[in-house]
Amino acid sequence: MTDAPAPAGPRAARGRRLALRGDLLDFAAAPAWGAAATDAVRFRPDHWLLIEDGAVAGVQAQAPDAGWERVDHRGRLVLPGFVDAHVHGPQIDMIASFGAELLDWLQAYTFPAELRHGEPAEAVAGAERFADALLAHGTTAAVVMPTVHRASAEALFAAARARGMRLVTGKVLMDRNAPPGLTDDVAQAERDCLALIERWHGRDRLAYAVTVRFAPTSTPAQLAMAGALCAADPTLYLHTHVAENRDEVRWVGELFPEARSYLDVYARAGLLHRRSVLAHGIWLDAGDHAALATSGAVIAHSPSSNLFLGSGLFDWRALARRGAAVAMASDVGAGTSLSMQRTLADAYKVQALRGQRLTAWVALHAATRGAAQALGLEREIGSFDAGCSADVCVWDWARGAVAERRHALAQDLHEQVFAWMMLADERNLVSARVAGAERFRRGEFAVR
């Protein structure tokens, strides 16, 4: 047998039988907080992942027969593609911008960057660039915030569809407290949402999110409209921000004095439900944690962003005790990288500052199967369960003398994976497949 990498240009997945050899790692269940030894992890070193018609067909130790096209990645780590639960597509234009907290940072950097995406050509170019960047970082599924412009959402949907990616997005809603060119009105925003839902929601691997930027940039009337959209179709997602920054929380209290808390603003508008994705959630109290657990909503934890803007230290353990869902998010551009490994490494540091120790298992689960479960997509993404889409990434365990030495000296699997989580990044990525088709190979993008 001669095993060789697949050609750079992806072939049609339908009718194709592909076997990938490597060290397969995914999760069978949610790992317990703080436990380095757990049965929740499925590690199958030097096994074959069988992919048929773009879906996982099984896992086996022995080499498959000649009816399978074989790609040998022995000695490399094979994971489900990462799921980024909250990321701003247009913000790669202003990533790593200096010196501001959240509200000033929005005015100085974010809004000017997003204004450019009002031009359809810029929206298309930006969406293409962003989708390729996700794949180059090992992220095959994402919940994405575009801009207020309908063209921005259209471009993201089209770019994801061309690559076969699982994407959740929707036009941003902002009808106050934002610059001209970045505000809409309730009636036009509703028309745009309905048109986008009709065209894209449920098409291929795409889903629509009713996307409220954050409570201060939407009037009560717009929030009510958003809640009505969610009530009319429970398959829609809700995507927004909550309680990221103390000044923001105070501002929300002034704008919505009738609400018990920032989170309660959304609950009152019918925006807290099983498909709600709320970024950050740092400055929440016990009542908010209970409401999240009861509703089934998920907090998209964005540790790199929280550290970069000095927003605060997320209390993951408190939400875990309540049974509330947490998924990992790069955020970008307040986050400093689309790399999920860098994001997970920052999550560890945030918890360390809170006196907690985040295991590699809890962190990695929240970027794969856990994120998929939080989004109601566990039968499609996040694991190597039979029938799931073959969204698969192949990684070098180590690159460079320091990481290679650390990998060689690791005493057990958790130590090995934890070191990889801390020392790896997008440069470790060898190949990314979406529904079995190779969409990224180190050094090049696959031809679409």
CATH number of the domain that residue 191 is part of: 3.20.20.140
- pLDDT of 10: 39
Residues 230 and 159 in one domain: yes
Token code pair at residue 94: 């202003």
**Is 363 within a domain?**
no
Q: In whole angstroms, how far apart are CA 424 and each of 46, 59, 295? A: 20, 25, 35
Same structural domain for residues 132 and 215? Answer: yes
3-state class (DSSP) for residue 55? strand
The one-letter amino acid at 43: F
Token pair of 358, please? 């985040």
Could you identify the residue written with the tokens 């992919």? 51
- What per-residue confidence (pLDDT) applies to 5? 34
The residue from 303, 338, 373 where one domain ends is 338
Residues 63 and 93 in one domain: no
Short-list 313, 324, 396, CA closest to 358: 313
**What's the pLDDT tens digit per position in 330-368?**
999 888 999 999 999 999 999 999 999 999 999 999 999
Q: Which of these three, 277, 306, 338, is where a domain ends? A: 338
CA distance 280 to 375: 16
Check the CA dihedral 178-183-189-195 and report its sign.
negative
Confidence band for 112, pLDDT divided at 50, 70 and 90: confident
Q: Predicted confidence band at 101 (pLDDT cuts at 50, 70, 90)?
A: confident
Confirm whether 350 is domain-assigned: no
Residues 106 and 216 in one domain: yes
pLDDT at position 384 over 90: yes
What are the structure tokens assigned to 203, written together? 């098409």
**CA gap 113, 130 in Å, rounded:** 14
Q: For residue 15, what pLDDT is reported?
A: 76
Q: Return d(Cα 306, Cα 241) in angstroms, integer.
A: 13
Spatial separation of the C-alpha atoms in residues 253 and 216, rounded to whole Å: 10
DSSP H helical ranges for 146-215: 150-163, 186-200
Q: Does residue 215 contact residue 272 with C-beta atoms inside 8 Å? A: no
Confidence of residue 444 (pLDDT cuts 50, 70, 90): low
Distance of alpha carbon 200 from alpha carbon 153, whole angstroms: 10
Q: Which residues contact 381 (CB under 8 A, 6 or more apart)?
A: 80, 81, 83, 140, 141, 166, 372, 388, 389, 391
pLDDT, mean of residues 397-419 = 98
Domain that holds residue 265: 82-338
- Do 49 and 161 lie in one domain? The reply is no
> Which is it for the CA torsion 226, 231, 232, 236, positive or negative?
positive
User: Is the residue at 353 inside a domain?
Assistant: no
Mean pLDDT of 141-170: 98
Q: What is the mean pLDDT of residues 95-112?
A: 85
Q: Does residue 429 belong to any structural domain of this protein?
A: yes
Which tokens go with 207?
């889903």
CA atoms within 13 A on the CB side of 126: 28
6 within some domain: no
- Compute the mean pLDDT over every residue in the chain, rounded to the nearest whole number: 94
pLDDT at position 255 over 80: yes
User: Which pLDDT score, from 0 to 100, does residue 14 have?
Assistant: 64
Least confident stretch, 92-101, 156-165, 192-201, 416-425 = 92-101
- Residue 445 has a pLDDT of 55
Residue 227 falls in which region: left (phi positive, over 0), alpha (psi -120 to 50) or beta: alpha
Same structural domain, 147 and 202: yes
pLDDT in tens, 283-339: 999 999 999 999 999 999 999 999 999 999 999 999 999 999 999 999 998 889 999
- Residue 147 main-chain phi, psi, to 5 deg: -125, -175
Count the domains in the chain.
2
Regarding whether 251 and 216 lie in a shared domain, the answer is yes
User: What pLDDT does residue 12 have?
Assistant: 44
Asked whether residue 270 falls in the same domain as residue 400, the answer is: no
395 burial (CB, 10 Å; 0-12 / 13-18 / 19+) is: buried
Q: Look at residue 117 in the predicted model and tell me its pLDDT.
A: 87
Is it the case that residue 143 has pLDDT exceeding 70? Answer: yes
Residue with tokens 């040998």: 72
- Could you tell me which residue, 36 or 113, shows the higher pLDDT? 36
Answer whether residue 57 is part of any domain.
yes
203 in the same domain as 193 = yes
Whether residue 362 is contained in a domain is answered as no
Residue 13 pLDDT exceeds 80:
no
Query: Which run of H or of E encompasses 166?
Result: strand 166-169
The pTM score is 0.95
Q: Which residues, 6+ apart, have CB-to-CB distance to 118 below 8 Å?
A: 147, 149, 151, 152, 181
Instruction: Give the separation between CA 261 and CA 283, rounded to whole angstroms.
Output: 10
On whether both 67 and 89 belong to a single domain, the answer is: no
Q: Of 58 and 100, which is predicted with more confidence? A: 58
Whether residues 176 and 47 fall in one domain: no
CATH at residue 38: 2.30.40.10
Domain's final residue, options 305, 338, 371: 338
- Which residue type, as a one-letter code, is found at position 414? H
Residue from 80, 19, 7 nearest 46 by CA: 19
409 falls within a domain: yes
Asked whether residue 306 falls in the same domain as residue 404, the answer is no
State the Cα–Cα distance between residues 128 and 18, nearest whole angstrom.
27
Which H helix or E strand runs over 320?
helix 316-322
Report residue 123: phi and psi, to 5°: -60, -45
